């Protein structure tokens, strides 16, 4: 019969073996914002697997990198976040999408819900809110 301390050690080892940091793709046209998010996400124990500066790149990187979650801005050149989210969710339905935007309106919330985006975070709120949203969407 195993002792409680042995059981705890085995459970911890099993969790460590099963646990792998979630892979996150950051999509925003502002490089400084991507860098800041990358640092914050990495410090939270998650892995940034890539970055993209517009929706078209986001679709390409999603297919290439197979992230678990995408942080997606709405206002970007070439292809915006709404169109990118539609395409990403068609091509990679298992990926989670969190819209990270400065636009906090009922219209934006309605459109993201209609598309099937998993969550919305607002850039003017504390960064901790985005990190909490990521953890919630990932089910952590």
- Determine, yes or no, domain membership for 65: yes
- Determine, yes or no, domain membership for 18: no
Q: Specify the number of domains making up the chain.
A: 1
pLDDT for the residue numbered 140: 59
- Determine, yes or no, domain membership for 2: no
Q: Alpha-carbon distance 104 to 22, whole Å?
A: 27
Query: 105 is in which domain, residue-wise?
Result: 23-138
pLDDT in tens, 35-89: 999 999 999 989 999 999 999 999 999 999 999 999 999 999 999 999 999 999 9
0.95 exceeded by pTM: no
For the chain, the helix, strand and coil percentages under 3-state DSSP, each to the nearest 5:
50, 20, 30
Mean pLDDT of the chain, nearest integer: 87
DSSP count for the chain of H helices, then E strands: 6, 5
Strands 47-52 and 23-27: parallel
Are the beta carbons of 25 and 49 closer than 8 angstroms?
Answer: yes
Which residues are CB-neighbours of 61 under 8 A, at least 6 positions away? 25, 27, 50, 51, 52, 67
Q: Kindly state the DSSP code that residue 53 receives in the 8-state scheme.
A: S
CATH number of the domain to which 62 belongs: 3.40.50.2300
- Determine, yes or no, domain membership for 5: no
- Determine, yes or no, domain membership for 35: yes
């Amino acid at each position: 019969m195993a002792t409680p301390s042995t059981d705890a050690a085995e459970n911890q080892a099993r969790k460590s073996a099963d646990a792998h940091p979630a892979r996150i793709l950051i999509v925003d046209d502002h490089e400084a914002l991507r860098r800041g998010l990358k640092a914050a996400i990495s410090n939270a124990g998650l892995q940034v697997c890539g970055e993209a500066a517009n929706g078209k790149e986001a679709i390409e990187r999603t297919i290439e990198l197979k992230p678990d979650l995408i942080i997606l801005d709405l206002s970007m050149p070439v292809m915006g976040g709404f169109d990118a989210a539609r395409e990403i969710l068609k091509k990679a339905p298992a990926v989670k999408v969190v819209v990270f935007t400065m636009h906090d309106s009922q219209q934006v919330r309605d459109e993201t819900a209609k598309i099937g985006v998993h969550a919305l975070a607002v850039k003017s709120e504390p960064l901790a809110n985005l990190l909490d949203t990521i953890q919630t969407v990932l089910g952590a």
